[in-house]
Structure 1
Amino acid sequence: MPNAAFALTIAGLTDVGRARSRNEDDFQVSIAGGFAVVCDGMGGHAGGDIASRKAVEVISGILLDHAPSDPIAVVKREDADRTQTDPAATEPAVRHALSVARSAVLQANRAIYELNLARGFSSGRGMGTTVAGLWRIPGTACMAVFHAGDSRVYRLRDGELRTLTRDHSLYQIWLDNGGRGTAPQRNIIVRALGTAEEVEPEVSVQTLMPDDVVMLCSDGLNGMLPDGVIARILRQESDPALAAAALVDAANAAGGMDNVTVVVARFAATD
């Protein structure tokens, strides 16, 4: 199907969970813009819900300004797992998209940081938020994946679930260093939006294939469910809205110890 185009179906859901009184998560999906964003706010009374909402607003607005206008061609399967993380090594459209995605996250960070300053919070204090997002790159068979913090992006391809992001957490650093000694708490984040004047998001490009399913989530999902359960639900439920609902229900059934937000996107060839 070298000339086929993708039809994108996408849906998301957020829930306060079983243990929290306030939902500090936020998300946005856009078929027209070809993107999804999930944010998990931090700060409690300092305004974690405000931080996540502001990040979603800023990033979504910028990506909508660069909405795709053409269908995307399907690439050969043998090229599907080639991932570009260096914008200088990619074609101009991809290089531009990676720059736009990075700029959107940086502008969101600046907006939240300035809100913290206006409220009298010093650097490192106040509200903040994680972010995880995907953006179907206009005119290509690729998507940009961007994140900061421990919200995640997963891909289900040919029944196999793969994590496309790596948590920016003290626990992940501990794992990367061999996991010796006492493990730190999993929720200690080392990179987030709004808590410092500068932040460096991770941005990469992933090739899309027919029937790829991409899932974004806050840690209220993967903190409650192992990857095997997530994969099983995504394999069983082909409709993105029903899959998102099933995942949220499963996280709550497992304890619901945090807010949980899930976005599920399916890329189907249209022939």
Structure 2
Amino acid sequence: MQNAAFVLTVAGRTDVGRTRSRNEDNFHVSSSGEFAIVCDGMGGHAGGDIASRKAVEEISGFLEDYAPTEPVTVVEFDDADRTQSDPMGTEPAVRNALSVARSAVQNANRSIHDLNVARGFAQGRGMGTTVAGVWRVPGSAQLVVFHAGDSRVYRLRDGELRPLTRDHSLYQIWLDNGGRGTAPQRNIIVRALGTAEDVEPEVAVHSLLPDDVLMLCSDGLNGMVPDSVIARILREEADPARAAAVLVDTANGAGGQDNVTVVVGRFAARA
């Protein structure tokens, strides 16, 4: 089965929500559909919207400029998922793509941190942003997933919704440690772009199979809509643009307490 006969069709939507006066979310979908990014800015008057826009611009520009230095071997589809901690489990082109994605996020982090320094903000203060992104390795059925913060990437396969990212939040750490005692607030982020000179994004490679559906979102979606409802909408709405619109409307219908951004992609045979 030739992977070149399959295409990743992607569409997104963002909305200010029902209670916020400004949208600090940003997203980008490449014209080729090969990558997508969602960023959720933090900092309010310090410029969360500027941070998220800067991250989207820097990362998308970095990935657009990438030219493979190693040929990608087109192989049969498989369902193997690998992290950057297992680099020998991937072919050279995929290992290189993992490194490029990591560098793209770190470059964006430095740019935002420099803006904070120029504005006189102390370390850990000022504007920042989460990031969640996917990048299809050119000509392959391999998907690089990268993130920092609590914006998420999900994959719907055979009707089952699975998160491909794990929140970098105090609440997630509390859950990982057994959830004992009082739960911390869910929106306290322990890893983000711009708040420190260096950041270590989480980067992994996942498989793509025909009819897989990908979804990226800010926490304005998953904070308002249960995963079971998200899965149902993704199963029912085959068109990515329509699915993204319905998900945003559902978050707003549930209260819309935050900005909400959704990107949906479908991996399918070329029309």
Partner Cα distance (1:260, 1:90) in 2: 34
Q: CA deviation at 1:9?
A: 1.0
User: After TM superposition, what 4+ stretches of structure 1 lie above 4 angstroms from structure 2?
Assistant: 70-74
Q: Deviation string for 1:33-58 (max 9, x for gaps)?
A: 61000000000000000000000000
Counterparts of 1:178-189 in structure 2, within 5 Å, are 178-189=178-189
CA RMSD of aligned residues (A): 1.8
Counterparts of 1:117-156 in structure 2, within 5 Å, are 117-156=117-156
Name the structure 2 match of 1:75.
Answer: 76
SS of structure 2 residue aligned to 1:56: helix
Is this contact kept in 1: 2:79–2:209, CA < 8 A? yes
Partner Cα distance (2:7, 2:72) in 1: 8
Change (3 A) 1:3 1:199: closer
Q: CA deviation at 1:2?
A: 4.9
SS of structure 2 residue aligned to 1:144: strand
Change (3 A) 1:53 1:147: same
Q: CA deviation at 1:88?
A: 3.8
Partner Cα distance (2:230, 2:67) in 1: 30
Name the structure 1 match of 2:255.
Answer: 255
Is this contact kept in 2: 1:221–1:248, CA < 8 A? yes
Q: CA deviation at 1:265?
A: 0.6
Is this contact kept in 2: 1:93–1:138, CA < 8 A? no
Name the structure 2 match of 1:99.
Answer: 99
SS of structure 1 residue aligned to 2:178: coil
The alignment's TM-score, normalised by the length of structure 1, stands at 0.95
Partner Cα distance (2:62, 2:138) in 1: 14
Counterparts of 1:46-57 in structure 2, within 5 Å, are 46-57=46-57
Change (3 A) 1:243 1:73: farther
Amino acid at match of 2:137: I
SS of structure 1 residue aligned to 2:245: helix
Is this contact kept in 2: 1:221–1:247, CA < 8 A? yes
Which structure 2 segments of 5+ residues have no match? none
Is this contact kept in 2: 1:146–1:203, CA < 8 A? yes
Is this contact kept in 1: 2:3–2:141, CA < 8 A? no
Amino acid at match of 1:218: S
Partner Cα distance (1:125, 1:82) in 2: 36
Change (3 A) 1:33 1:104: farther
Q: CA deviation at 1:67?
A: 6.4
Q: CA deviation at 1:63?
A: 0.6
Name the structure 1 match of 2:7.
Answer: 7
Q: Deviation string for 1:109-135 (max 9, x for gaps)?
A: 000000000000011000000000000
Equivalenced residues, count: 268
Partner Cα distance (1:142, 1:14) in 2: 27
The alignment's TM-score, normalised by the length of structure 2, stands at 0.95
Partner Cα distance (1:91, 1:270) in 2: 25
Change (3 A) 1:81 1:10: same
Is this contact kept in 1: 2:153–2:217, CA < 8 A? yes
Partner Cα distance (1:80, 1:239) in 2: 24
SS of structure 2 residue aligned to 1:189: coil
Partner Cα distance (1:5, 1:67) in 2: 21
Which structure 1 segments of 5+ residues have no match? none
Q: Deviation string for 1:202-238 (max 9, x for gaps)?
A: 0000011001110000000000000000000000000
Partner Cα distance (1:17, 1:67) in 2: 38
Name the structure 1 match of 2:58.
Answer: 58
SS of structure 1 residue aligned to 2:96: helix
Is this contact kept in 2: 1:130–1:149, CA < 8 A? yes
Amino acid at match of 2:104: A
Amino acid at match of 2:76: V
